[in-house]
Structure 1
Amino acid sequence: MMDKHVFKSEPEEAGIRIDIYLAAKMGISRSFAQQLVKTGEVVINDKSVKPNHKIGSQDIIAVQLEVQDVLTVEAEALPLDVVYEDKDIIVVNKARGMVVHPAAGNPNGTLVNALLYHCRGELSGINGIIRPGIVHRLDKDTSGVMVAAKTDEAHRGLAAQIKSHTACRTYWALVHGNISEERGTVEAPIGRHPKDRIKMAVTFKHGREAVTHFSVLKRYGEYTWIECKLETGRTHQIRVHMAYIGHPVVNDPLYGYKKDRFPISGQALHSHCLDLVHPVTGTVMHFEAPAPTDFKACLQQAAAQSNNE
């Protein structure tokens, strides 16, 4: 039995090595991706390639995996903060530090492992055995509310809302600097960083449209607590946009300052609210995840530093 994955590269992804591309797209290690390419399990536009091959724009990339090569994802009795659940969907408050789905070298302790246990295996199968039920993702070090699908019907409905951006996600972030405006919009295209292909960046050459609306919740001298709403859903969008306007997210290891000393592991970014239409019943729904302890601790530290100035 084979498990087939097919991807179509975007214009801004042109020039990325195939092993790096597959590692990011499939959640596998780069060495495993190289092995797949070497053994002929990967074809681009129906042709075999080498691991150092650089993909082009709108390439069709097909990956065939033997089932035994795919990670076996086991149910695990892990802590899971369930915000809402019915027979079609489940909404959770993901903990910071929890990876969403398994990958080579990281097969356990993920949100998927926890969901499989909690839902007794009743999750949508559209994304295969590694990512059952997963409609959208949060970065490992971003906490907060996210939704998963328990049925294929619900998955298709949620995916359509995510794609059309009718599902609204609202984030909280603590950023560097005192933002002068009460609210604003960052409209700048995002694509792969021209030199560091693991990172994203504002790029007007091959970037895709990206729009972030922000408003100030509170100022703390050299820091600002903001709320962000996304019109688009690009990878690392808030982190890239805030760094671009000179207000990087506190403790961001990729886009922020290297010497941040805040009591949080990873960026001070939290998915606070999720608004969507139930994919089966049509009910308008609103979900919230309160600020976690570590995010509150960052706000307290920023306030203390502001008071000492």
Structure 2
Amino acid sequence: MTEFISSKSARLDQELALYLKISRNQVLSLIKGGNVSVNDKVVTKAGFALNLGDKISLIKPQITPIQSEFKAEFDVEILYEDSDILVINKPIGVTVHPAPSVKEATLVEWLKQKGYTLSSLGGTERAGIVHRLDKGTSGVMVVAKNNQAHTALSQQLSSKDMGRIYLALCDLPLKENCIIDRPIGRHPQNRLKNTIVSGAKSAKSAFANILTTQNKRVNLIAAKLFTGRTHQIRVHLASINRHILGDDLYGFKSNSDRISRIFLHAYILRLIHPRSNQIMEFKAPLPNEFYELIGKEVNKEIVDESTTPSILCDIFRDSSYWMYYN
């Protein structure tokens, strides 16, 4: 049992979140589960009004382990690890979260098998996943190794302090570097897809041309996310008639057998370390398939020089004069 004295008059959920350094959603789960008492009386209302000097007691619930019927038999490259965070290079073909429709091991199962799970104060064991990538997208992801790190990183994601840059191969070059600020919602006829929907959740992306082959059939572009909607990059590009190679769901058409994957890769992740407050930058190397496709016309050294993190970050530093789609 954990006990402490209220330092001021406040809502119960606010005081608990501040003291425990966990998210309000986790606090809400604790309170609704009957695990919190004020002056020795169980309180189940998050908005309960505390007075200065009230005694708050917390009973940690039994942890419900992650249920899994699949064994992860794939490898995941670890780019960085310390006591608070794990940074990985997610391979293509791996789904991040389990779902009834997913009949194979996911990244969550891999994390559990490797011992990377959080004992949530809410009573449920969970993976410390902060953000997700589509099954067909490879690249850099950060995973929290404790509840405090998860809360801090989630706040960075919400406040836009966490920066993400993707690389993609497209069927057509951009007319010019651009910002797309168009809301994204579920497609009315195809529930596997999202689309631009007026009044749906806001979504904003920036896109820049990096390299174009001489025949303009393969075009390397970079994308920066300001929000994190499902399929956001793919939907926004489709809305201006640009399609990622291999992305049949969003309009790419080819009879060629050489397109073996969706050519979208989470390349750079910048974050503030949850303990040291140091700005950290991680890069997931560009997969070989990208070089194989673009390298027939563009030298690998040119690709590497054009995609150094400093150059890409400079490109996106000032997009105020770019073409704007809304």
SS in 2 for 1:286: strand
Instruction: Name the CA shift for 1:84/1:121 in 2 (closer, same or farther; >3 Å).
Output: closer
For residue 219 of structure 1, what is the aligned residue in structure 2?
Answer: 212
The aligned amino acid for 1:194 is P
Does 1:102 find its partner at 2:95?
no
**CA drift at 1:257:** 2.1
Structure 2 alignment gaps of length 5 or more: 1-63, 300-326
Structure with larger Rg: 2
The aligned amino acid for 1:216 is N
Q: Report if the CA contact (8 A) 2:68-2:109 is conserved.
A: no
In 1: Cα distance, 2:136 partner to 2:122 partner:
22
For residue 7 of structure 2, what is the aligned residue in structure 1?
Answer: none
Does 1:281 find its partner at 2:258?
no
Structure 1 alignment gaps of length 5 or more: 1-66, 305-309
Match of 1:190 among 184, 187, 195: 184
The aligned amino acid for 2:205 is T
CA deviation map 1:94-139 (0-9, x unaligned):
0111111333364653222222233x24436479868511111101
For residue 83 of structure 1, what is the aligned residue in structure 2?
Answer: 79
Q: Report if the CA contact (8 A) 1:273-1:289 is conserved.
A: yes
For residue 45 of structure 2, what is the aligned residue in structure 1?
Answer: none
TM-score, normalised to structure 2, is 0.65
Q: Report if the CA contact (8 A) 2:119-2:125 is conserved.
A: no
SS in 1 for 2:248: coil
**CA drift at 1:194:** 2.3
SS in 2 for 1:296: helix
SS in 1 for 2:250: coil
Number of equivalences: 234
Instruction: Name the CA shift for 1:261/1:127 in 2 (closer, same or farther; >3 Å).
Output: farther
SS in 1 for 2:229: coil
Identity of aligned residues (%): 39
**CA drift at 1:84:** 0.5
**CA drift at 1:195:** 2.0
In 1: Cα distance, 2:135 partner to 2:121 partner:
22
Give the stretch that moved more between structures: 80-89 or 184-193.
Answer: 184-193
Instruction: Name the CA shift for 1:203/1:297 in 2 (closer, same or farther; >3 Å).
Output: same
The aligned amino acid for 2:272 is V
Instruction: Name the CA shift for 1:164/1:268 in 2 (closer, same or farther; >3 Å).
Output: same
In 2: Cα distance, 1:208 partner to 1:89 partner:
29
Instruction: Name the CA shift for 1:176/1:83 in 2 (closer, same or farther; >3 Å).
Output: same
Instruction: Name the CA shift for 1:274/1:72 in 2 (closer, same or farther; >3 Å).
Output: same
Alignment of 1:160-199 (within 5 A): 160-181=155-176, 183-199=177-193
SS in 2 for 1:123: strand
Instruction: Name the CA shift for 1:154/1:243 in 2 (closer, same or farther; >3 Å).
Output: same
For residue 144 of structure 2, what is the aligned residue in structure 1?
Answer: 149
The aligned amino acid for 2:87 is V
The aligned amino acid for 1:150 is K
Q: Report if the CA contact (8 A) 1:175-1:247 is conserved.
A: yes
In 2: Cα distance, 1:213 partner to 1:279 partner:
27
In 1: Cα distance, 2:278 partner to 2:178 partner:
31
RMSD: 2.7
The aligned amino acid for 1:225 is L
In 1: Cα distance, 2:119 partner to 2:293 partner:
37
Q: Report if the CA contact (8 A) 2:117-2:126 is conserved.
A: no
Q: Report if the CA contact (8 A) 1:137-1:146 is conserved.
A: yes
In 2: Cα distance, 1:88 partner to 1:74 partner:
27
Does 1:115 find its partner at 2:111?
yes
